[in-house]
Amino acid sequence: MLARIRIGDLRRVKAQTACSQLQIASSPSHNQLDHESAVFGHQALSEIALPFTENELLDYAERRKCELTKYSIDWINRASKAIWEIIRGTISKESIDELRLHVLNKYKSEWSHSKVLGFTKAYLKFLTKARLDTRYHSFEIFLERPRAIKARNNVTSRIVTKEDIENVLSHIRNAEKGGLISGDRSQQYTAFILFGAFSGQRSLATIAKLKVGQFKEALQSNKPCIEVLSSQDKIKMQHYVPIHPQISQAIQSLLDRRSDHEMLFEYNSLVMWVKRQKIPLTRIANHFTLGDLRKFTEQYGDIIGWDQSNRAYIMTHGVSGIDWKHYKHPLPENVYDVYMQYWKDVKFSH
């Protein structure tokens, strides 16, 4: 017959077991084994090499290209090409250092460094999630850009005046008179310059993407405002842009007998023409570029005292605050009314 187990017996067994464990843990041989195990279980990043495949890199790059401009896509292509040609499927301290040195030597601008090295960091983060291995992301510490002391400029040195815009319009008119461009091209170029100067929209990200149908719809209203879609704006902000009366006159001939789905402006033709002409600016020793249209709108807005809220909304600049995200939502007719209070008497001679 089995004897009954008493609680006191269990307590004695537990005490004896704890005593035995304490003796083992305090022995020199046991401590040495634990220390050696910890040392050999730890590896520095300089001792690690992690794999990835070219298909993984190309697939990630393709996903990043979705709905980006061709210039952003070009930088993704450059970055992914450099990663594969230099790292060759093995991420290590040596390969990452080599890539960083290559980028810093090949590109001189800090902006270019941030494009390539930033894409590389993002790819390491992707590999961490895709391969469930946090060691990939750890290598980003070797991709830090060199720190440089920058001289802060309080105001931009690039000044664009109303005279500069009128000078560009005169060049277009003279080129047509001299038979260097056709009448259709002259109307195209003139309308683009006027719209850019009056609205301050980004030339490539927005104006180049606007369609004939959008202008036709806007001009049906007594207070015409074109609706810029989120896909047509750099910061993906849908907004309304008033159409100044001088713009309305300039684009009327561009709308005739054209499909609503056509792009209104021939951006590529104009940007190449401007590059060839090298039209000088009046206040600085430099030539006009299409990016100067937006600078003019901002700078001339200060001269005429343009309302800051109306300006920020139309130009989608400085609209990242909580009031813009959750509270402000101006109606097109109100956007037009406020805009025309300041711009109605502005007119370019050409």
All residue ranges of the chain with pLDDT < 50 are 1-2, 22, 24-26, 28-40
Structure tokens at 31: 């401590």
What pLDDT, on the 0 to 100 scale, is given for residue 44? Answer: 86
- Does 198 lie in the same domain as 84? no
- Does 253 lie in the same domain as 106? no
Let me know if residue 10 belongs to a domain.
Answer: no
Let me know if residue 223 belongs to a domain.
Answer: yes
Let me know if residue 54 belongs to a domain.
Answer: yes
What pLDDT, on the 0 to 100 scale, is given for residue 5? Answer: 55
Let me know if residue 166 belongs to a domain.
Answer: yes
- Does 180 lie in the same domain as 262? yes
**b/e map 129-163, b = 16+ CB within 10 Å:** eeeeeeebeebbebbeeeeeeeeeeeeeeebbebe
- Does 273 lie in the same domain as 178? yes
What pLDDT, on the 0 to 100 scale, is given for residue 3? Answer: 53
What pLDDT, on the 0 to 100 scale, is given for residue 25? Answer: 46
Nearest-angstrom CA–CA distance, 341 and 322: 27
Enclosing domain of residue 303: 162-343
> Which of 90, 116, 143 is the last residue before a domain boundary?
143
Residue 219 is part of a domain; what is its CATH number?
A: 1.10.443
- Does 183 lie in the same domain as 125? no
Partners of 209 in the beta sheet?
none
Let me know if residue 26 belongs to a domain.
Answer: no
What is the dihedral angle through the alpha carbons of 187, 192, 193, 194, rounded to the nearest 10 degrees? 90
- Does 319 lie in the same domain as 222? yes
Let me know if residue 20 belongs to a domain.
Answer: no
Nearest-angstrom CA–CA distance, 198 and 293: 8
What pLDDT, on the 0 to 100 scale, is given for residue 348? Answer: 97
Q: Is 239 helix (H, G, I), strand (E, B) or coil?
A: strand
Q: Name the domain count of the chain.
A: 2
What pLDDT, on the 0 to 100 scale, is given for residue 1? Answer: 47
- Does 178 lie in the same domain as 136? no
Q: Per DSSP, which regions of 229-321 are E strands?
A: 239-242
Query: In 51-92, which ranges are continuous DSSP H helix?
Result: 54-64, 70-87
What pLDDT, on the 0 to 100 scale, is given for residue 46? Answer: 86
- Does 232 lie in the same domain as 84? no
Tell which residue, 147, 146, 127, has the closest CA to residue 137.
127
Whether residue 196 contacts residue 203, with contact meaning beta carbons closer than 8 Å, is answered with yes
What is the dihedral angle through the alpha carbons of 191, 236, 200, 228, rounded to the nearest 10 degrees? 40
> Which of 143, 177, 206 is the last residue before a domain boundary?
143
175-228, pLDDT tens digit by residue? Answer: 999 999 999 999 999 999 999 999 999 999 999 999 999 999 999 999 999 999
Whether residue 57 contacts residue 84, with contact meaning beta carbons closer than 8 Å, is answered with yes
Whether residue 216 contacts residue 201, with contact meaning beta carbons closer than 8 Å, is answered with no
Let me know if residue 243 belongs to a domain.
Answer: yes
Let me know if residue 39 belongs to a domain.
Answer: no
Structure tokens at 298: 């901002």
22-32, pLDDT tens digit by residue? Answer: 454 445 444 44
What pLDDT, on the 0 to 100 scale, is given for residue 40? Answer: 42
